[in-house]
Chains A and B, each alone.
Chain A
Amino acid sequence: MPNDNKQKPILIVNQSAPYGNANAKESLDLALASSAFEQALSILFTGDGIYQLLPKQSPDDIQSKNLLQMLKALPIYGVEQLYVDQQSLTERGITELDTQLPIVLVNSVEISRLYHDAQTVFRF
Chain B
Amino acid sequence: MILHTLNKSPSNEALSEQLSQVIQADDQVILLEDGVYHSLLENNDTSHWLGIAAHVHALNDDLKARGLTSNNSAIKTIDYADFVRLSSECDKVIAWY
The reply, when asked whether chain A contacts chain B directly with Cβ atoms under 8 A, is yes
Residues of B within 8 A of A47 (CB): 14, 18
Among the stretches A60-68, A95-103, A112-120, the one at the interface with B is A112-120
Is A111 a contact of B92 with CB atoms below 8 Å?
no
Q: A121-B94, A123-B96 are in contact. Are A116 and B2 (CB under 8 A)?
A: yes
* CB-CB under 8 A for A111 and B21, given A119-B92, A120-B92, A121-B94: yes
B→A interface (CB under 8 Å): 2, 14, 18, 21-22, 24, 92, 94-97
Q: How far is the CB of A111 from chain B (nearest CB, A)?
A: 6
Q: Which residues of B contact A119 (CB under 8 A)?
A: 92
- Asked if A15 CB lies within 8 Å of chain B CBs, one says yes
Alpha-carbon distance A119/B66, docked complex (angstroms): 34
Assuming the A-B contacts A47-B14, A120-B92, A121-B92, are A112 and B22 also in contact, with contact meaning beta carbons closer than 8 angstroms in the complex?
A: yes
CB distance from B27 to the nearest CB of A (A): 10
**Closest chain A CB from B64 CB (angstroms):** 28
Q: Decide: A123 and B24 in contact? CB cutoff 8 A.
A: no
